[in-house]
Amino acid sequence: MSNNISQHEGAPPKDLGFGTTATSTDIKLINKDGTFNVRRKGLKFHESFHFYHYLITIPWWKFHVIIFSYFLVANLIFSSIFMFIGVEHIGGMIAHTWWEKTYETFFFSAQTLTTVGYGRINPIGFAASALAAVESMLGLMGFALITGVLYGRFSRPDTNILFSKNALISPYKNVNAIMFRMANLRQSQLIETEVQFVIGYNKIVNGTTQRAFDTLALERDKINFFPLSWTIVHPLDDNSDLRGFTVEDFKKYKAEFTVSVKAFDDTFHQQVYARYSYSYSDMISGHKFVRSYNAAHDGVIEMDFEKFHLFEEAPLN
């Protein structure tokens, strides 16, 4: 076997943005969800934390928890202040016990914060009226900000591209090829979809182990429409530096294959992006993907995602 990648031992490495310092462990650069496997240290909280960005990017359940917590805590604070001022300064209350006065005050605070104001309970005197005015102002401002963040979350362009769990070394024409496939899970149409396939590996430069990155040529790196699954193919032919490589060779070089996808989403009318990564442990040799779509009886092409990750044995050329 000819390790063609070693022919570049003296060439200066490219930089994908992760630097050229090689790691001694099998640390991936890109996580399975497309995020970068990077942790920032040495920054103060105000330098690294941006609240709007945090609210835009967190999962929906966390966002709902934060909004509910804001509503609950704000009303607890203001109802406590109303109780401190005295319930005699709140007119229309029909409570008699301490517990009844507490929850009546809490719900009065909720009506004030949301500017609902049902009318039965009302502030009496300057202190209670001033506190109600401040709470109303904070409520208007708070919910205006929440509405803006909510719109930002809904209007934020993103993708839901499914990548195969494994990359395969499969027979391809009269040679072999590295293959993986991806599919658009959304009903939106992705057009002018482009893919860049990059290998990162350790190499020796002037006696020092460094991390190098090379862009791999694809059988097809752009398609006009993306309605079905798309199998990405890097032929291991005479033009490929990886010709003759096995999974063990990729393990030796600590190889990681990063995938960058760029497309135009006709729903958002914007460019959208996706990222994925395969390490050598995700690669399987001597197999090919099972066909995942067929023509249905009603004349519609049917995509079967239960078969999307499946593969079968296929002797290599």
CA-CA distances (angstroms) from residue 232 to 11, 183, 213, 310? 28, 11, 19, 16
Which of 113, 133, 138, 137 has the alpha carbon at shortest distance from 123? Answer: 133
Which of 236, 121, 112 has the alpha carbon at shortest distance from 169? Answer: 236
| pLDDT at residue 232 is higher than 80 | yes
The answer to whether 4-39+159-313 and 47-155 have equal CATH topology is no
Q: Please say whether the beta carbons of 277 and 256 come within 8 A.
A: yes
- Cα separation of 269 and 181, whole Å? 25
- Cα separation of 110 and 117, whole Å? 9
Q: What are phi and psi of 151, to 5 degrees?
A: -65, -40
Domain residue extents for the chain: 4-39+159-313, 47-155
Confidence at 24, pLDDT banded by 50, 70, 90? low
Confidence at 278, pLDDT banded by 50, 70, 90? very high
Within a 10 A sphere around the Cβ of 275, how many other Cβ atoms? 18
Please provide the average confidence, as pLDDT, over all residues in the chain.
85
Q: What is the pLDDT of residue 259?
A: 93
| pLDDT at residue 314 is higher than 80 | yes
Q: What is the pLDDT of residue 3?
A: 47
Question: Cα 206 to chain center, whole Å?
Answer: 38
Find residue 85's DSSP bridge partners.
none
- Cα separation of 35 and 53, whole Å? 15
What is the reported pTM? 0.74
Q: What is the pLDDT of residues 119-167, one digit of tens each?
A: 888 999 999 999 999 999 999 999 999 999 999 888 888 788 999 999 9
| pLDDT at residue 7 is higher than 50 | no
Mean per-residue pLDDT, 94-115: 91
- What angle, 0 to 180 degrees and rounded to 10, lies between the N-to-C axes of helices 126-155 and 60-85? 180
Pick the CATH number of 4-39+159-313 from 2.60.40.1400, 3.40.50.300, 3.40.1550.10, 3.40.190.10: 2.60.40.1400
- Cα separation of 171 and 229, whole Å? 19
Tell me how far apart the 2 most distant CA atoms of the chain are, in Å.
90
Confidence at 8, pLDDT banded by 50, 70, 90? very low
Mean per-residue pLDDT, 289-300: 82
| pLDDT at residue 302 is higher than 50 | yes
Lowest mean pLDDT among 6-10, 56-60, 268-272, 291-295: 6-10
DSSP, collapsed to helix, strand or coil, labels residue 302 as: strand
Q: In CATH, what number does 47-155 get? A: 1.10.287.70
Lowest mean pLDDT among 74-78, 188-192, 221-225, 311-315: 188-192
- Cα separation of 153 and 135, whole Å? 26
| pLDDT at residue 22 is higher than 70 | no
